[in-house]
Amino acid sequence: MLPKKLQNKLQSRIQDNAFRQLGKPNSLVDFSSNDYLGFSRSKAIFEKAHHSTIDHNLIQNGATGSRLLSGNHSLYTQVEQHISTFHNAESTLIFNSGYDANLGFFSCVPQRNDTILYDEFCHASIRDGIKMSNAKAYKFKHNDLGDLTHQLSLRAASKNELDDIYIITESVFSMDGDSPDLKTLTAICKKHKGNLIIDEAHAIGIFGRNGDGLVSELHLEDSVFARIITFGKALGCHGAAILGSTDLRDYLINFSRPFIYTTALPPHSLATIKVAYNKLVIQSDSEESQLNNLQQNIQFFKSEIKRLQLQQLFSDSDSAIQCYILSGTNLVKHISEALKKEGFDVKPILSPTVPKGKERLRFCLHSYNTPQEITKVLELLTTFTV
């Protein structure tokens, strides 16, 4: 039987109407998944990845062990080199997921007496990793570089010569879809000798040349200590990677516990990552590409928001994530269910994932959404909320 304390916590979730349950497959119009370019449903990617494992004589279902034991099959070297070249990075280390990568990095890189300054809206995986480190951590106001500068000035006075400062943000925030001023941020970090880490999970595949991210689009690769990228969103597959120096890669291999003690990804996962990257390059020259379709849908969605006079409640975002912010769990869940009955899958985002009073409907846009679907779901939204 579940201990009483745990029962009470579950009961509290139920009373707050915030009880989580696993979803079921559906045929609704997709405004909820992270499959921004439709790569996860691409038959061509699936078949090319399958044939790639056969061509490399890697017909096996699992990796058989961690990469430090028996799981470091030959595709790892190829794919990591491919990713490094694509993102203009010195080195790459693949992890099993974005959560693993953030946990693995932040739990072992910042040391005792180091200082971590992180955006208050950073992903849970970043904050969980920070909690596992021995460094002192402080959050700064969301995308507020003035507050960050103030905090850096405060810490500088007590900083020992051997102590480091780590500044953490995301290039596209998962719950708001907005971005920090990365050029100004890198200048601030350089001035205060801070190590900048940027999570690019929701930028890869969408921003930059061929979808290589906002850091590359702004030519800031040399100003960033580490980039965390994931493959489970726009690339439609699985896994993640940390981009940085060769020395950082060696350090993570030796000290990152989520890397050391995890069974490696199987060959087919690595083959899928490589094929997805190749597809990003191939589609970049096509006016009918998934990326071009996605960008058009983002602009059309924003124009429809203005036409329907909904912009005051939507977050300011140029990304595939568009959020309609409301106050109250019951209201957000009610509207989500009403849209579901009309055939649209739009997920409610509730506290504690977002701050209480900032609950929202999160619209994830895709290359395969049609203008008619976008207009219909937003017109329905006006009937439920305006």
Per-residue model confidence as pLDDT tens digits over 346-366 = 999 988 888 888 999 999 999
CA nearest 201: which of 237, 233, 223? 233
Q: Within a domain: residue 123?
A: yes
Is pTM beyond 0.75? Reply is: yes
Question: Worst-scoring range by mean pLDDT, 242-246, 259-263, 341-345, 353-357?
Answer: 353-357
Q: Within a domain: residue 34?
A: no
Where does the pLDDT of residue 16 fall: very low under 50, low under 70, confident under 90, or very high at 90 and above?
Answer: confident
Which pLDDT does position 241 carry in this prediction?
A: 98
Identify whether the C-beta of residue 274 lies closer than 8 Å to the C-beta of residue 78.
yes
Cross-strand partners of 91:
244
Which residue, 258, 282, 306, sits at the end of a domain? 282
Which residue, 282, 307, 327, sits at the end of a domain? 282
Q: Within a domain: residue 349?
A: yes
In our burial notation (b when 16+ CB lie closer than 10 A, e otherwise), range 208-217 reads bebbbbbbbe
**Separation of alpha carbons 341 and 28, rounded Å:** 9
Which pLDDT does position 306 carry in this prediction?
A: 95
Are residues 157 and 297 located together in one domain of the fold? no
How many structural domains comprise the chain? 2
Which residue, 242, 260, 282, sits at the end of a domain? 282
Identify whether the C-beta of residue 196 lies closer than 8 Å to the C-beta of residue 183.
no
User: What is the CATH number for 330?
Assistant: 3.90.1150.10
Q: Within a domain: residue 22?
A: no
Are residues 253 and 307 located together in one domain of the fold? no
CA nearest 192: which of 140, 261, 128? 140
Stretch 300-304: mean pLDDT:
97
Are residues 85 and 185 located together in one domain of the fold? yes
**Separation of alpha carbons 160 and 26, rounded Å:** 56
Are residues 213 and 126 located together in one domain of the fold? yes
Residues of the chain with pLDDT > 90, as a percent, come to 81
Q: In this structure, what DSSP letter does residue 88 have?
A: T
CA nearest 225: which of 208, 242, 202? 242
Identify whether the C-beta of residue 275 lies closer than 8 Å to the C-beta of residue 234.
no
User: What DSSP string runs through 231-265?
Assistant: SSSTT-S--EEEEE-HHHHHHHHHH-HHHHTSBPP
What domain range includes position 369? Answer: 287-385
Are residues 266 and 297 located together in one domain of the fold? no
Are residues 94 and 200 located together in one domain of the fold? yes
Is omega for the bond preceding 25 within 30 degrees of 0, making it cis?
A: no
Angle (CA) 349 119 21, round 5°: 20
User: What is the CATH number for 117?
Assistant: 3.40.640.10
Stretch 160-172: mean pLDDT:
90
Identify whether the C-beta of residue 198 lies closer than 8 Å to the C-beta of residue 204.
no
Q: Within a domain: residue 209?
A: yes
Stretch 328-353: mean pLDDT:
92
Are residues 235 and 339 located together in one domain of the fold? no
CA nearest 89: which of 277, 246, 244, 249? 244
Taking only the tens place, the pLDDT of each residue in 35-93 is 999 999 999 999 999 999 998 888 899 999 999 999 999 999 999 999 999 999 999 99
Identify whether the C-beta of residue 114 lies closer than 8 Å to the C-beta of residue 165.
yes
Are residues 373 and 259 located together in one domain of the fold? no
Residues of the chain with pLDDT > 70, as a percent, come to 97
Provide long-range contacts, Cβ within 8 A and 24+ apart, for 184-193.
184/145, 185/145, 185/148, 186/220, 186/223, 186/224, 188/145, 188/148, 188/149, 188/152, 189/223, 190/223, 192/149, 192/152, 192/153, 192/156, 192/165, 193/165
Q: Within a domain: residue 31?
A: no
How long a stretch of residues is the chain? 386
Q: Within a domain: residue 2?
A: no
Q: Looking at the predicted structure, is the pLDDT value of residue 386 above 60?
A: no
Are residues 301 and 252 located together in one domain of the fold? no
Q: Within a domain: residue 25?
A: no
Q: Looking at the predicted structure, is the pLDDT value of residue 372 above 80?
A: yes
